[in-house]
Amino acid sequence: MADGLDELGKILMEKVRDEAIDDWKRILSGRMKSDRAQAVHQRVSKMGAEAGALVREMVPQIVDTTLHHLLWTLEQNQERLRLTVVSEEGETDAAAESDGLPGELYSGEGWIARFSKGPKSVL
């Protein structure tokens, strides 16, 4: 049931990937006002323009790596962790339905390309 996998991908891209990237854009630009966010912004600002640009480019990579490891962990621990997606078509066991949950993220047909509004990984 590919629709269940697509539902999972859409939720993860919109509610996890895009939100995390947007949060870090606000932190790095100084728009987030918490003490932690301001401390990060100040440290990155002191690094210079080139280093700051690199940090901004790395954010999607770091988020994608985290998602990759989350999906890998869910897939490798199915005896203790089960991810069931409930959609209009019914219930889908995500790990059983996928050829490899982490791989669902990548390629021109992957979740990032199809469902994320955030920048694509550059490295």
Task: Give me the amino acid identity at 33.
Answer: K
Give the predicted TM-score (pTM) of the model. 0.90
The C-alpha atoms of residue 55 and residue 47 are separated, in whole angstroms, by 10
Calpha distance 24→66 (Å, rounded)? 14
pLDDT at 71 over 50: yes
Domain ranges for the chain: 2-115
| Residues 38, 29 contacting (CB under 8 angstroms) | no
Count CB neighbours of 43 within 10 A. Answer: 11
Q: What are 25-35's pLDDT values in tens digits?
A: 999 999 999 99
